[in-house]
Structure formats: C-alpha cells, structure tokens
Structure 1
Amino acid sequence: MNGGPMSEFTGFPPEALVFYDGLEADNSKAYWTDHREMYANAVRGPMLALLDALEPEFGEPHVFRPNRDVRFSKDKSPYKTAIGAHNEHGGYVQVSAAGLMVATGYWQTAPDQVERLRAAVADDVTGPQLEAVVAGLRKDGYEISGNRLKTHPRGYDADHPRIELLRHRTMTAHREFGEPSWLAEPACAERVAAAWRDMRVLRDWLDRHVGPTRLPQDRRR
C-alpha cells in the first residue's frame, strides 16, 4: 500500500491515544511537527500493518489523510483528531483519543440510493429483513446510525410500522471499543475482523437492495 514491505501488526500502543490526547489540546502544525515520529510509529505504522493483515479477507485498504479540508469550515484546525481507514470489502476502522471504533455501511448516498433504500424498507419482505438485521446487531452491542430526517419522508405515512428506518438517508453500524487491553496486542486485528463479519449482514442488505448510485456525478447531491 505504501510501496514498501509492511511490518507485522502488533497492536496500537498506548502512545497512539496519547498522541491524539495531545492533538485535541493543541491542534497546531507545531504540535504535529514536534510529535511526527510518535504519529509515524504509534499511529500510522500500526494502522498500515493492521490493514495489511486484513487485506486477504477484506480487500484493498485505504488510509484517510490526516489533514482536514478547512476551505468551507469555520473550524480551521488543520488536523483530524483520529486516524480513519477502511478495507474495500470490510468496513471502517478508527483510532482516536477515545480508543478504537469499527463500522460499516453507507455513509454517503445519492438521491437514487435514498429512493431505493426507502422502497426496500417499505417493502413487506425486504423491510422486515432489515428490521431483523438491525435488531440482531443491536442485541450484539452495535449501534445503528446515519443521516436521518426529523420527520417522515414525503410519500410515506408518519405511522408506518418502519418509520424510524424510513427516516434514514444513510445507514451505518458501528461499535466503540474504547481502550481494551487487546488494543495493544496482535489480537486487535481479529477483533476488527470479527466486528466486520458481524456487521456484514447490514452491508450485504444494503448492497443487495440499494447498491451504488447510477446517477452522473453532477446529480449525486
């Protein structure tokens, strides 16, 4: 992924969370420059090794850049206070001062995807299937979230039996693991993989009934 050999994944050391504790207190270029080596050794290096370990099962990895896009933001803090990454067929993984978070789902949707999502939720076969998926994930300790309308969507009754799901424009599942002892151990890779496997039922439902947008680029918002 970075053009060179990967180190074996041994976990995220405590210094990874220490780095982000400090960045939250001093989100500046000076802090980043002074702690660049800590970031490389305790944060980015372990994340690359984790993704490399997960790639055979979950596909091509990608690490998000640490710099924030501040062009249209009132907050001009230059750096993200977490490292985020994903594997193409797995999901999203993040480390911050709060520890580890693992997720999957559809974070962004175009209008045609939202239309297909709502149609599938309203359907008397596929809708109950999603209800069962959501209930099962919640029972196992996962949270279901996403961009949601405050009211019912146009064309659907406010008293629809699945109105809470119909309000979703995007849909994701995630779990906050915090800072368990295994975060700093090689077993962390299997914990992330197990969470992605658990949450795959949601991703599979979305892929089957929503799928990628079919709209041209200029009509996706």
Structure 2
Amino acid sequence: MLHPVITKETIEFLNDLKKNNNREWFTGHKNRFTERQKEVKTFMEYILEMMKSHDEIEKLKMFRIYRDIRFSKDKTPYKHNFSGSFSRSGLDRRGGYYVHIEPGGSFIATGFWNPEKDDLLRIRKEWELDTTELKGIIENKGFKEIWGELVGDELKTAPKGFDKDDPNIDLIKKKQFIFIRKFTDTEVLQQYFADTILESFRRIRPYFDLMSSILTTNLNGESLLD
C-alpha cells in the first residue's frame, strides 16, 4: 500500500465547509467532499493495515460528515472534520483508538471513553488496591513525551464506597481514562504524519495491556473469561 497523506486540499475543504455550513453550499461542492473523504478513508485504511503488525484490530469505523441536530441547539448540518475509530479484536483486548482531522483542531485519542458500570467499578477497585504498575507506565518519560497526562471526566468527590482520603483518589474519581495528542495543521500535512500516529498508538500498548488484564480478571487475578 502506498504511503498516504492528508493534503492541504482537505484542510481547505474543511475550512470552507466551516464557513459555509449549509446544504446549498455542500450540494454545490459534493464532488470536493467525495474526493476529500476518499483521501481520508485511504489514510485511515493505511493506519488500519499497519496497526495489525502490533495489535489485532477488528474494524475501522469512519464517522459520517452529517450532524445529528435533533437534540442540539446548533442546527448546522455538517461536521467540519473527518474522523475514524479502530476497534480491537476479542474480549481480552480492551481500549480503542481514534483519529480526528480538523483545521486547527486535529488530534488522536486512545483509552477508555465511558467504561460501563461494572468495568468502572473494577478499575476503581484496582486503583484502590495498587497503582504501582499503572504509574510505572503512564509516568514513564518516553510515554509522557508522546501522550502527556491521563485525562477524562471525573467526579468532584470520592465515589460511593471509596475513601476520600485514599492516596489514589485522583485516579479513583475518574470516569474516563483517556490520552489525547494534538497536532497543528503543519504537522498533519507532513509526509509521514501517518507514521507519527502509528508510533503513538504503538506506544500506548503497555497501558492497554495492563487495563485489559485488569478488566478480564478479578481482584485475585483469576480470569473472568474462562
């Protein structure tokens, strides 16, 4: 597969769409949209194939350009970004990858957006017990140079059943466990931007491996998948 890129034409189209976010303009520029969408899909498919060298990926999901405006005060009909997510294969592989291309707002993200109730409790119980291995991963210098700090929504106080004075309460209060890496337009347009994404996703694997282990075992380390 040829090494794909995101071109300035895609950034320019998204900028124009943001300025002219209406159906009449979009209909008149549908051919531009189709070309730019094809470019980004090819880019995402390249990432999908290359990621298979170090992870097992079930599928790529490309998100639609059309906004769901039924329950939104913002009635503009189109997103001004292209984005896609990559799902890992199997019950023993947790976590997900996301790529977002937007003028002035491009980023990649990975982690656990909204763990279901049982998974969230299991994670919190693990942090209550021990965070040594987690901190060894996310506080590693090389890891932080790429991914920075763990982010995500969190409670204002300790969740029910947990001690507010627990030394790991900052982790226990979290409802999401996400890492985000932002990029400038100049970085997005670089020839090897796809390789930058791939290396970033490769470096998140120790975190995924740990979290997958936690979410597929009980507090005694016994498998929940047997």
TM-score under structure 1 length normalisation: 0.80
> What does residue 209 of structure 1 align with?
214
* Counterpart-to-counterpart distance in 2, 1:110 and 1:39: 36
The answer on 1:135 being equivalent to 2:139 is yes
Cα displacement string for residues 12-62 of structure 1 (whole angstroms, at most 9, x for unaligned residues) = 1112222222233332212322332222223x2222112221223343211
Extract structure 1 runs of 4+ deviating beyond 4 A.
none
Deviates more, 1:104-113 or 1:32-41: 32-41
> What does residue 197 of structure 1 align with?
202
Q: Is the 8 A contact 1:17 1:98 kept in 2?
A: no
Q: Is the 8 A contact 2:98 2:109 kept in 1?
A: yes
Cα displacement string for residues 63-87 of structure 1 (whole angstroms, at most 9, x for unaligned residues) = 0111122222222222222211022
> Would the alpha carbon gap of residues 207 and 183 (structure 1) be closer, same or farther in structure 2, given more than 3 Å must change?
farther
Q: Is the 8 A contact 1:117 1:209 kept in 2?
A: yes
> Would the alpha carbon gap of residues 188 and 29 (structure 1) be closer, same or farther in structure 2, given more than 3 Å must change?
same
Partner amino acid, structure 1, of 2:84: A
Q: Is the 8 A contact 1:143 1:175 kept in 2?
A: no
The answer on 1:70 being equivalent to 2:75 is no
Equivalence map 1:95-106=2 (5 Å): 95-106=101-112
Identity of aligned residues (%): 25
Q: CA deviation at 1:88?
A: 2.2
> Would the alpha carbon gap of residues 196 and 38 (structure 1) be closer, same or farther in structure 2, given more than 3 Å must change?
same
Q: CA deviation at 1:9?
A: 4.4
Which structure 2 residue ranges, 5 or more long, are not aligned? 89-95, 217-226
* Counterpart-to-counterpart distance in 2, 1:9 and 1:37: 24
Which structure 1 residue ranges, 5 or more long, are not aligned? 1-6, 212-221
Q: 2:4 aligns with which of 10, 17, 21?
A: 10
Q: Is the 8 A contact 1:68 1:79 kept in 2?
A: yes
Q: 2:178 aligns with which of 167, 172, 176?
A: 172
> What does residue 120 of structure 1 align with?
126
Q: Is the 8 A contact 2:6 2:43 kept in 1?
A: no
* Counterpart-to-counterpart distance in 2, 1:141 and 1:87: 18
Cα displacement string for residues 83-139 of structure 1 (whole angstroms, at most 9, x for unaligned residues) = 110222361111001253111111122111111111111122xx2222222223334
> What does residue 100 of structure 2 align with?
94
* Counterpart-to-counterpart distance in 2, 1:31 and 1:63: 23
* Counterpart-to-counterpart distance in 1, 2:118 and 2:63: 26
Matched length: 201
> Would the alpha carbon gap of residues 203 and 80 (structure 1) be closer, same or farther in structure 2, given more than 3 Å must change?
farther
The answer on 1:160 being equivalent to 2:166 is yes
Partner amino acid, structure 2, of 1:172: I
> Would the alpha carbon gap of residues 181 and 140 (structure 1) be closer, same or farther in structure 2, given more than 3 Å must change?
closer
> Would the alpha carbon gap of residues 191 and 17 (structure 1) be closer, same or farther in structure 2, given more than 3 Å must change?
same
Equivalence map 1:23-38=2 (5 Å): 23-38=17-32
